[in-house]
Amino acid sequence: MAAVLAGSVIARAQGGRWASGLICSASGMLVALSLLLAVRVQARRDRVIDVILEGSEELPVAVVQRERRRLLSDRNRAGLARSLEEMAREAAAPRTGRVRLVPPLFEPPIVAHVADELRDLGAVLRGGRVTARGVASVERLVKHATSPLNGHDLAALREELRRVRRLLKERAQRHRGKARRGRCSHTLSRCPGWRQS
């Protein structure tokens, strides 16, 4: 598709009027294919995170270990901590008198009640050792559409924050499947805890 687009641009530059329609079509197809690829990549990442959330962060499979490293990276942890702290700050002291172009992705009146817990989670993320399972739970809490941060149930949000804090601190569980250390003898789709979407 990229080759068709490039050829069409060259033809149009050389005066071929017929190439304009082809440029539009090829551009549209390229955008659609890019979006489909992005959706597939995100779906795969979500499945890998599901495996980690089920307690298999030590599973010796390349995609799991790659995602584990991303979750535990200083950059990712600092970004999540910053998001939690910004939510707490914005919910505790909402800006008045200013029109928002984009509403917040969380419920400020609910989140205001747990501002201290959000700041505390941010400190835990920035602090010492945490588990990838815990960081994955924070990521889902901050970014997932069905997160209790986006709802109106304060009790459910408090319970989720306690669970996330516990997961951040728990000792990472070891994979007890048949896989050998360093290399998994089966594909991820057949590993224990793996769910196909």
Q: What is the pLDDT of residue 11?
A: 62
Q: Which of 17-21, 55-59, 128-132, 153-157 has the highest mean pLDDT?
A: 153-157
Query: pTM for the full model?
Result: 0.65
pLDDT the model gives residue 188: 52
Say what the pLDDT of residue 137 is.
94
pLDDT at 7: 61
Q: State the SS3 of the chain.
A: CHHHHHHHHHHHHCCCCCHHHHHHHHHHHHHHHHHHHHHHHHHHHHHHHHHHHCCCCCCCCHHHHHHHHHHHCHHHHHHHHHHHHHHHHHHHCCCCCCCCCCCCCCCHHHHHHHHHHHHHHHHHHHCCCCCHHHHHHHHHHHHCCCCHHHCCCHHHHHHHHHHHHHHHHCCCCCCCCCCECCECCCCHHHCCCCCCC
Write out pLDDT tens, residues 132-167: 999 999 999 998 878 888 888 999 999 999 999 999
Q: Specify the pLDDT at position 164.
A: 93
